[in-house]
Amino acid sequence: MSRRPARPSIEDPYLLFLVFMGIGIGTVLLDPPVRLTLLWVTLAILSILSWGRRPVDTAFTLGNIARGALLGLVIAAPLLVFLSGQVRIFCERLYGTRSPLLLFYQICLVSAPVEEAFFRGVVQQHKGASASIALYAITALLYCFPHVPILAALIVFIATGVLDIVYTSVYERCGLTASIPSHVVIGFVLQMIPALWGSLGGILG
């Protein structure tokens, strides 16, 4: 007698990602700040659900935090020289605000830790680096649609995939407490600093 195929369980990262995608598609008409907040809250809840059944090893040490932050700075600083103007315009469209304070909250305090918790602590831990990179790049398109032009969204898709290779590598070597600081620092340098420059230029101008 043949066995029935096993049903996806609540801790299956692919099933959790489909839930996230469904909410992302269902909220495309909302204002960007509201929509992004809902998506980040969803990722946080899905991570907690998964961790409740299969706890993650964060590998917490001050050394790992410092390594992640330093690597993020080394990677992001050269890119800032060439991309600051384009990144500032993109962030204003994606996040729906020009406020440096709100951008700092969204980029560094919410999105970076929540995304790392899900894509590293859930997807990568249970499905591997390739799945984590692919799903994170798809998420970048979900964030962009429909507020960013198609060409810009494709560029972001590629750039996000490349950055995610960095995050997955950091996670594999030093754990979640290194990948989160790396993500935070890269977000701050590439997205926050151009916004601060723009605001300062507006005040001085």
pLDDT in tens, 15-25: 999 999 999 99
- The model's pLDDT over 124-165, given as tens digits with 9 standing for 90+, comes to 999 999 999 999 999 988 888 877 777 777 877 888 888 899
Find out whether 39 and 27 touch, Cβ atoms under 8 Å.
Answer: yes
pTM of the model: 0.88
Give the separation between CA 158 and CA 164, rounded to whole angstroms.
10
